[in-house]
Structure 1
Amino acid sequence: MKDFIAKFTRGKFSILFLILFVALLYTVLNNGVMPLVMSIVKSDAFFEKEAEEEQLGKIENKTPRIGYALSHCKDAVKYEGDLSDAAQFLDEKSEAWALGNRHYIIRSTVRIVDQEKGQVDRLFACKVRMIADNEADPNSWSILGVDFNEPSN
């Protein structure tokens, strides 16, 4: 290492070339590379465009889209929860939240018949995403998850 430093400092212009090289690198970085990086970062290249603007959070008034989302959730609950045909979905107790980018959480109640307790209300939640433009088409919806709470009285 001492030999390298000795050779480096021995030349007349070595330190001057080092300083010029560092200054050149700094100038190229500030005037060439960084503006290019900043223009790419400011562009929309990395952002998913939202299909439409919608209010995020709890949805107070039931829209047709939420009605379709609820019906697809009910189908998923019937399938995943192994519910009988006698199960009643209480749509008036349903709630919906918009998460943005056509993602929704639907929470509602299903009334099932328990052998020991009789009729039992059971809460469920479902996360859905609308993946196409036709909200009435079942293929336009994707069920991302279904969850049941324990039966309550």
Structure 2
Amino acid sequence: MHSFDELLEYFENNLKKQKFLHEPEELYAPISYTLELGGKRIRPVLTLMACDIFGGNIENALPQAIAIEMFHNFTLIHDDIMDNAPIRRGRQTVYKKWSSNIAILSGDTLFAYAYQFAQNADKEIVKDILSVFNKTAIEVCEGQHYDLNFET
């Protein structure tokens, strides 16, 4: 079984391999910027850890771990806009560095990439994985709505 630190290193090394060098650059640069800001990476590491604990091959869970991290960062980009947050993880937020419009589009693109990675699972479980992803996405939007209403 792997330690948290080993799984974190494995995840970080593989996330760095995901290059977003597509055009238009102004859409993809914020995605790279966001993913390079770091963070604790608890969600993807716990995904790999769960796979490891139950005897699975962590390579098979890597696409879902990346999907979860991309999804999480998509929510942070949008949350920063809604909260007018100037700083995230000690650096300028995407909408402050670029613009709100670019941040929304880059966040939406991260969301689409999250689904693209999430669907890279065994065909026996991909439907269940995408169902959980959909349920989570809806709950995140509902929670954000409650947060906005609470602030006003």
Same fold (TM over 0.5): no
User: Relative contact order, CA 8 A, sep 6+: which one is greater?
Assistant: 2
Q: Larger radius of gyration, structure 1 or 2?
A: 1
Q: State the TM-score, normalizing by the size of structure 1.
A: 0.25
Q: State the TM-score, normalizing by the size of structure 2.
A: 0.25
Higher strand share: 1
Higher helix share: 2
